[in-house]
Amino acid sequence: MADTEPTPALEAELQATFGPHLEALCARTARALEAGGFSGLLVHSGSALTVFEDDRTYPFLAHAPFKVWVPLADVPDSYIWFKPGSRPVLVLHQPRDYWYKPADLPRGYWVRHFEVVAAADAAAARAALPADLSRAAYIGDATPELASWGLGTVNPRDLMRRLDYDRAAKSPYELACLRAANRLGARGHLAATRAFERGASEFEIELEFLRACGAREQELPYNPIIALNEGGAVLHYQVLEKRVPRERHSLLIDAGAQFAGYASDITRTHSFADADFRALIGRMDGLQQRLCARVRAGVDWRDIHLAAHEETGALLREADLVRCPGEEAVATGLTRVFLPHGIGHLLGIEVHDVGGFMKTPAQGEIPRPEGHPYLRLTRVLEPGFVVTMEPGIYFIPQLLEAARANDAQANRINWPRVASLSKFGGIRIEDDLAVSRSGCENLTREAFRAVAAA
């Protein structure tokens, strides 16, 4: 099993960077509170949700606004209290229970920066907070006990918007966590690739990924997409077939890992034996790297998305999938038949991190380009943004059927070539990129190099 504890070098980096990271978080939260006229902020970790007509709960996932403050995942009904000018308080739910193991008091590089208070129940949690919360803002689940806590407001959108906007730019501490998450993810991908090459089922491939990451599925940032053959044409493929297919053509694996609450989001596509499809994967990899080279501060992400369609049009023509120039494939909407999703999104404490459309912290959204409804990011890139870059081409039956009924598109598609490649499902290549003024750091490629050299 992979060791998910930080190495001494990473531990030292986390020790050195968490304090300044928290100071910056406190400063921007204080500004947001002042703009809204609030005296303090109370953030809830979330509650464990009970299965319908049962006494067991679904796997718990801590709310992102809570994880922004502390790298804790399995701590339901805990709170962060922040008052500008004071040390943040972690109110940790620690019930007296012998049915389930309560959370331990935390240890590690970040704990000394907080006042930590254990609370056995909601009443104890309330007693750990200031008596007067009438000017405090609360973010989290509207639990029944809140009515008696005297809070000023619950989930104020203006405040949450300001906090979400600032999350896009990552601190040196957050970048260290994202690099570590990418190294774990690369470890998992290499193990999954070996399992695919040995002839494993989708389910067995996932087990190898989990083992290499040292994680349970609920500890990953999202359920892995592990698609053999035609399954690669389903963008969020959710099935884990336990049977090995009679014929093995391809693997599309979209899977990431998590470190201290921060996610990696990595996709690779593999050909089992077909040289033609392997060459097409190579072309897509080159296309993806050319798009990565466009990433730098000051660039409008929408321009990169549109450039991805120009690149895709050229690739479709080069691969003999369409019988028209690349520019014509873009103009007639053919590229959207083969690439229907956005080219990437913000990444951080959430896989699809918030704030991707915001014009300013206060108001307004930046629209998507016409005809591209699934783009998840429209902002101009700034230093510290972390984005995914994930171009692909797919042979999706529903979209191909619609194109066949569209004369402007049907006559431009090489249908025999498409039919020959449909058994592979599709290709996607995805890396995580940290934006700088001069370009970007490819967190994923660096992670694969580091893991391969270890």
Q: Sign of the C-alpha dihedral, residues 226, 229, 235, 239?
A: negative
Closest CA to 166 of 21, 267, 315, 316: 21
Which residue type sits at 149? W
Closest CA to 43 of 98, 94, 80: 80
Residues in the chain: 454
The whole-number pLDDT of residue 59 equals 93
Instruction: Give φ, ψ of 300 to 5 degrees.
Output: -75, 120
For the entire predicted model, the pTM comes to: 0.97
Which tens digits make up the pLDDT trace of 31-55? 999 999 999 999 999 999 999 999 9
The whole-number pLDDT of residue 349 equals 97
Which tens digits make up the pLDDT trace of 243-291? 999 999 999 999 999 999 999 999 999 999 999 999 999 999 999 999 9
Give every CB contact of residue 263 below 8 A, 6+ residues apart in sequence: 178, 181, 221, 222, 256, 257, 347, 348, 349, 350, 351
Which tens digits make up the pLDDT trace of 339-363? 999 999 999 999 999 999 999 998 8
Three-class HEC string of 265-322: CEEEEEECCCHHHHHHHHHHHHHHHHHHCCCCCCCEHHHHHHHHHHHHHHHHHHCCCE
> Contact at 8 Å (CB) between 173 and 14?
yes
Return the percent helix, strand and coil in the chain, to nearest 5.
40, 15, 45
- R_g (Cα) of the chain, nearest Å: 24
Q: Per-residue confidence at 2, pLDDT binned at 50, 70, 90?
A: very low
Closest CA to 357 of 369, 349, 365: 365
> C-alpha angle 74/76/77, rounded to 5°?
155
Residue 183, token pair as written in the block? 């190294």
Q: How many angstroms separate the CA atoms of 333 and 213, rounded?
A: 40
The mean pLDDT of 304-331, rounded to a whole number, is 98
The whole-number pLDDT of residue 100 equals 86
Query: Which segments of the chain belong to CATH 3.40.350.10?
Result: 8-155
Longest dimension (CA), the chain: 73
> Contact at 8 Å (CB) between 348 and 263?
yes
Which tens digits make up the pLDDT trace of 50-92? 999 999 999 999 999 999 999 999 999 999 999 999 999 999 9
The whole-number pLDDT of residue 3 equals 42
Residue burial 312-340, b: 16+ Cβ < 10 Å; e: rest: bbbbbbebebbebebeebbebebbbbbbb
3-state secondary structure (DSSP) of residue 410: helix
Query: Considering only the top CATH level, what class is 8-155?
Result: alpha beta
Q: How many angstroms separate the CA atoms of 393 and 363, rounded?
A: 35
**Mean of per-residue pLDDT scores for the chain:** 96
What is 172-453's CATH topology? Creatine Amidinohydrolase (3.90.230)
The whole-number pLDDT of residue 4 equals 63
Residue 408, token pair as written in the block? 């402007």
Which tens digits make up the pLDDT trace of 145-165? 898 999 999 999 999 999 999
Which residue type sits at 27? A
> How would DSSP label each residue in 79-128?
EEEE-TTS--EEEEE----SSSPPPPPP-STTGGGSEEEEESSHHHHHHT
The whole-number pLDDT of residue 454 equals 86
> C-alpha angle 175/176/182, rounded to 5°?
85
Closest CA to 343 of 309, 371, 315, 310: 309
The whole-number pLDDT of residue 1 equals 31
Which tens digits make up the pLDDT trace of 382-410? 999 999 999 999 999 999 999 999 999 99
The whole-number pLDDT of residue 5 equals 73
Residue 291, token pair as written in the block? 């798009």
The mean pLDDT of 208-225, rounded to a whole number, is 97
Query: Which segments of the chain belong to CATH 3.90.230.10?
Result: 172-453
The whole-number pLDDT of residue 144 equals 87
